[in-house]
Amino acid sequence: MSRKNSETRKRILECTWKLLEDEPGSATRMSDIAKAAGISRQAVYLHFPTRAELLVATTRHLDEVKDVDSRLAKSRAAATGEERLEAFIEAWGNYIPEIYGVAKALLAMKDTDEEAAAAWADRMQAVRHGCGAVVKAFRKDGHLTKNLTSQQSIEALWALLSVRHWEQLVVECGWSQKQYIKHMNRMAQAMLVECEQ
Amino acid sequence: MSRKNSETRKRILECTWKLLEDEPGSATRMSDIAKAAGISRQAVYLHFPTRAELLVATTRHLDEVKDVDSRLAKSRAAATGEERLEAFIEAWGNYIPEIYGVAKALLAMKDTDEEAAAAWADRMQAVRHGCGAVVKAFRKDGHLTKNLTSQQSIEALWALLSVRHWEQLVVECGWSQKQYIKHMNRMAQAMLVECEQ
DNA sequence: CAAAAAATTGACACCGTGTAAAGTTGACAT
DNA sequence: ATGTCAACTTTACACGGTGTCAATTTTTTG
């Protein structure tokens, strides 16, 4: 316990986070992080055996500090599917920009590193669960479209709310966070709900 | 001309393509490509100064061989917005799996290499144009939702039809190509069209 | 104070990209 | 047949980033 939560370890995590926040992606090197934390490059390896493990630890640290899980859990209070969807998109959609830097680095690593892939998949599983809860609520309301199975609905919603999708709209197309949230609600609604015309 | 279309050059491009098709992503090295093409690693550099330029050339080669542009142009024959959308999704959606390997490598490179980013942006511009044409047709029909500006509609559709979105649904979630096409049509429709209930 | 833990220093191996230079081979032009 | 030109080979090396190792110093703490 005292080992795991050492001062230095925490400082490394915070610096990694800050650096990736400023410049999302894979540009940040181990030496940059060491310099930012005011220690030698080797000292970083003393705490984290590989870059992948450091990134994974940083995401976990972030999730802990920001307390995603309880933020996502809030949406479960809502009664109707519609309300749940809105609460969920509010919670997750606004969480994305806070983790974007680290997420992007992990996403880039995913292709080559097994461990990074597993860590990312694990975190995304939480989001998927949230999507599942939303779909279930819609189903209960009897509002779910018949064009998709529950499984497909979950996956479609999950993909719609992916970090990459957010990235494309907000970072590449320049949508504001507010626009993103608003339109995601509309789109998800349109996608999941039966549209009788 | 004779220079640009040399036997060897073409063979390198074909091998790059094949290798990336088998194993999408950034794993394929210059030496792998050289070996596959039956030449020395340096010979590859004789034709393509950098890995980025090779990847860019490979996408261009692919686009040329597969003739995307004319495939996408076909959708312009359709009269109504709905028909255009369907033709466009048919054309582009079925093109994605054919280029996925190379696309993924280019996408990974995009983060670090300026030239790769530009090449990818350029190719994506073509898709965006297609989305623009679809939205325009819908607007003309008077069926476009009032919740989105034309620009936003184009971007929303563009993001929906992104390679990454396809990847998530087909590669990660295991949707069949047929399902993907079918549901993309539905989703895009639901997203763009006014839903009077 | 002595032992243990944390960090430093400096060197090095490995990989993949990219550069450089000298040498080989074959076509073909006169 | 000779010379030359282009394509390709071979060998060697520089560079940057990750990760390893071992010897040493600093800090903590029983």
Lowest average pLDDT, out of A109-113, A148-152, B15-19, B190-194, goes to: B190-194
pLDDT at residue B196 in the model: 54
Lowest average pLDDT, out of A88-97, B29-38, B136-145, goes to: B136-145
Q: Identify the closest residue of chain A to B168 by CA–CA distance.
A: A159
Q: What is the pLDDT of residues B65-91, one digit of tens each?
A: 999 888 888 888 888 999 999 999 999
Res B34 pLDDT > 50:
yes
pLDDT at residue B120 in the model: 96
- Dist CA A173 CA A167 (whole Å): 9
Q: Do A111 and B108 touch (CB under 8 A)?
A: yes
Q: Do A179 and B152 touch (CB under 8 A)?
A: yes
pTM (two decimals):
0.94
Residue with tokens 């992503």: B25
Res B95 pLDDT > 70:
yes
In Å, what is the separation between the CA of B11 and the C1' of D1? 35
What token pair was written down for B118? 């530009």
**Amino acid letter at B28?**
T
Res B2 pLDDT > 50:
no
pLDDT at residue A2 in the model: 40
How far is B56 from chain A, CA to nearest CA, in Å? 19
Res B197 pLDDT > 50:
no
Q: Do A27 and B112 touch (CB under 8 A)?
A: yes
